[in-house]
Structure 1
Amino acid sequence: MSESPAPSPSPSDPTRPVPSGALGTLRTIQMVSGMVGIGALMLSAVRILVDPAAPMPSWPAVAVVLVVLVGSAVLVRRVGYTVPALPQGLPRENAETTSLRYFTSTTILRTAFAEAPVLVAFAVSFVFTPHTWVTLLIALPGGLALFWLHGWPSPRTAAAVEAGLEAEGAESYLSEALGFRAG
């Protein structure tokens, strides 16, 4: 009795899920956003490990970090979701492609704005005396909150970008292309 070779899984095999195009696109954007966003955490951890001393920072150092944190929050809202409206009559495939391109670029922009306070706090920790990483403890919670609310691709961020793309009445199909809404 000879054994027959095991059948190779086919794309229609229910035991082997095949990611849809929407899921693949969303995962790619999430991975890029996450890689950019994780930089703030890694930088903070290295700074703390290299110099574990933690004197209280000077008031000017704290002021710089707070101003950058507030400035980043304002920029995320004012610039991070700004996209041009799609023209009327754009074919669905072109609208999806254009919408995904704008969503990806604005997601990376919002992630960079969210990470900026931590990068500035890192620099401040060396520039102002006393040299302390406590400024990172001021910037990190705010930066992470900005990242989670605005940098991480979600149905809420997609809807905000979609509103700009559809400002003149054209359909963007962004939420459907990302798998947030059934097409």
Structure 2
Amino acid sequence: MSSPRPSPTPDDNAVAAGLGALRPLQLLSAAIGMGALMLSATRILVDLPVNPEPVPPSWMAVGIVLASVVAATGVIVVFGYSVPSLPMGLPRENAARTSLHYFGSTTVLRSAVAEMPVLVAFAVSFLVTPHSWLPLLVALPVSAALFWWHAWPSPRTAAAVEKGLEAEGAESFLSETLGFRAE
């Protein structure tokens, strides 16, 4: 016979909740990121039979797309990790739950903003003459890099959010709760 399992402690429950929160965040983030890929593929596949040889985009179109890349990067760096610091003396379970909330909301924000250059390139491909889908090929790899570096829930993004949460000395338990670091 096996010995009975010890009952879970509140800390075990918080860790289980965090691990349960990581997977949905990753799936939501991936769904947002897939939107950029699907939009680009649709635009290219619809236009390709009509124009088998793509028209080079104008310098203005490329400039607008590059400006959107710079803007998206700036917004992510300035606002994407901004969270209020946790108050001192917050119980561990409340700190972990609050940290998960802020991590989730900032992850969605960073995911959406990382997709912005593709959305701009999509609009530019129709609005700026000559109409070309090639600006999407400029925006898509950059958006993918922004997404991978800033939006995908990872130990690095958790540490960046954790830094803001712990700015006044309170402990957030975010990385531990997400299972990124041993307790």
TM-score between both structures, scaled by the size of structure 1 = 0.88
Residue number in structure 2 paired with 1:136: 136
Between the aligned residues of both structures, percent identity stands at 63
User: Per-residue displacement from partner, 1:108-132 (whole Å, max 9, x unpaired)?
Assistant: 1111110000001000000011111
Q: Give the structure with higher Rg (CA).
A: 1
Aligned to 1:119: 119
Alpha-carbon distance in 2 for matches of 1:85, 1:21: 21
Partner residue in 2 for 1:41: 37
Q: Which moved more, 1:69-78 or 1:151-160?
A: 69-78
Runs of 4+ in 1 over 4 A off after TM superposition: none
| Matched letter for residue 44 of structure 2 | I
Contact 2:18 2:100 in 1 (8 A): no
State the alpha-carbon separation in 2 of the partners of residues 22 and 106 from structure 1.
16
1:20 CA displacement: 4.1
Map 1:59-138; keep pairs closer than 5 Å: 59-138=59-138
Matched, 1:24 2:20: yes
Structure 1 residue 21, shift from structure 2 partner = 3.3
The separation in 2 between residues aligned to 1:173 and 1:126, in whole angstroms, is 47
**Structure 1 residue 136, shift from structure 2 partner:** 0.2
Q: Once the two structures are superposed, what CA deviation does each residue of 1:17-70 show, in whole Å capped at 9, x if it has no partner?
A: xx9433321101100111111100000000000001310001111110000001
Asked if 1:153 is matched to 2:164, the reply is: no
Determine helix, strand or coil for the equivalent of 2:170: coil
Tell me if the contact between 2:125 and 2:133 (Cα under 8 Å) persists in the aligned partners. yes
Q: Which runs of 5+ in 1 are unaligned?
A: 1-10, 12-18
Match of 1:51 in 2: 47
Contact 2:73 2:146 (C-alpha < 8 Å) held by counterparts: yes
Tell me the alpha carbon deviations over residues 93-144 of structure 1, each in whole angstroms, 9 at most, x when there is no partner. 1111110000000001111110000001000000011111100001001100
The two structures, once aligned, show a CA RMSD in angstroms of 1.6
- TM-score (normalizing by structure 2): 0.88
Matched residues, number:
167
The aligned amino acid for 1:103 is F
DSSP 3-state at the match of 1:167: coil
1:74 to partner: Cα distance: 1.1
